[in-house]
Amino acid sequence: MTTIQHAAANLPERSHLTAAQGDPFGNARAQLRDAVTILGYDDGMYELLANPRRELTVAVPLHRDSGEMELLIGHRVQHNVSRGPAKGGLRYSPDVTLDEVRALAMWMTWKCALLDVPYGGAKGGIRIDPRHYSCSELERVTRRYTSEISPLIGPDHDIPAPDVGTDEQTMAWIMDTYSVQKGHTVLGVSTGKPVSLGGSLGRATSTSRGVVHVALAALRSRGIQPEGATAAVQGFGKVGRHAARFLHDAGVRIVTVSDQYGAIRADGGLDIAVLEGHVDATGSVTGFADADPTSNDNLLAADVDLLVPAAVEGVIHVGNAMQVKATVVVEGANGPTTPEADRLLNAAGTLVVPDILANAGGVIVSYFEWVQANQAYWWGADEVETRLAKRMLTAWEHVSTHAEKLQVPLRTAATCLAVERVAQAALLRGLYP
């Protein structure tokens, strides 16, 4: 059984936490429009950057273990390849839509450019709830999807990585399926693989480590020392769980966390190691003996120094933004704050560290994995972590300095820096023919 399956069969139904609110693609385009206006580009450049370079929707037939046949729908979107091969995760979720994948691909383009990683942005998704499928069924889905999108992917074209609902095993299946088609092993076709199959040390926790590097810097920029600071972490999956642990290790008191089933709170601070054991045993943070139940709404409105939304898109919106009391919001998820909510938070003096900066640790170490695979030479964990920290903190300094210079929010500064780099690459390359 892989980690993308929940063993507990008696878990409650998913809460509204999993349902993205608003229009993620519209939000992404609105952010781009603001940056294009500030940078002085014309409508032609906006249209070039607002629309995906390529997108593919595929039918993924599956023979269930029961013998029944089921048809699933998958997508792969390459937003931009001006700066290098497309790069982006693959998510398995019942909430996957083409517009969501388009938005995530665009955000990946800006993320790679901002962190000066030589990639363009891509994203993939299959509309499936992996908890309701066996490991062998998920393997068949992954291999068929890989076969369908194989004309678009490759180490020099488009490199998938794990995302919501997928893991290192998924990436191993992708690598093997693609390699069988090519007739030889191609380790660089996917990242986030098991270390024994060409994965990089530190990749599994890289997004969370990046979030924490930036979160600690953001707290200090507001005169808040991490030791004794308080935090709320929304989402206890790939990103939120490790972020909570690393924040706890840095001295931050985690007072409330949530997952797709509910939320818990302990004003004296949660023992993250004990909570992780509870989640491993039950599949959820709910029912943790050393905390009281609360709601996701209460978590977002918690009176804490730091809020880390690390679940899905659109959870901070115009209806709840004014209830956010955190001094610093660090976006562990992609697109957790709608543009309207972002404006309200900025007007209220909340420091919002945008997703394209905050959660870029994953793509940075994916890049490291790709480089190592191409060289057939692997780095030690300390080297990976040192390089990751340097990249994240350098980007933080660039963005915060640019924001201060332009007197704009961090998101605007980050998006402008990223869009300018992509636009410059497009202009230098020119149009063909």
User: What is the DSSP-derived secondary structure letter of residue 154?
Assistant: B
111 is catalytic: no
Integer Cα distance of 421 and 165 in angstroms? 31
The letter for the amino acid at 384 is V
Q: Count CA atoms within 13 Å of residue 137 on its CB side.
A: 22
Catalytic residue (one of 111, 123, 193, 238): 123
The letter for the amino acid at 419 is V
- Give me the DSSP letters along 273-338: HHHHHHHHHHSSSTT-TTSEEE-HHHHHT---SEEEE-S-TT-B-TTTGGG---SEEE--SSS-B-
- Give me the DSSP letters along 77-109: EEEE-TTSSEEEEEEEETT--HHHHHHHHHHHH
Q: How far is CA 60 from the centre of its chain?
A: 24
Q: Is the peptide bond preceding residue 336 cis, with omega within 30 degrees of 0?
A: no
Largest CA distance in the chain: 65
Q: Hey, which residues are catalytic here?
A: 123
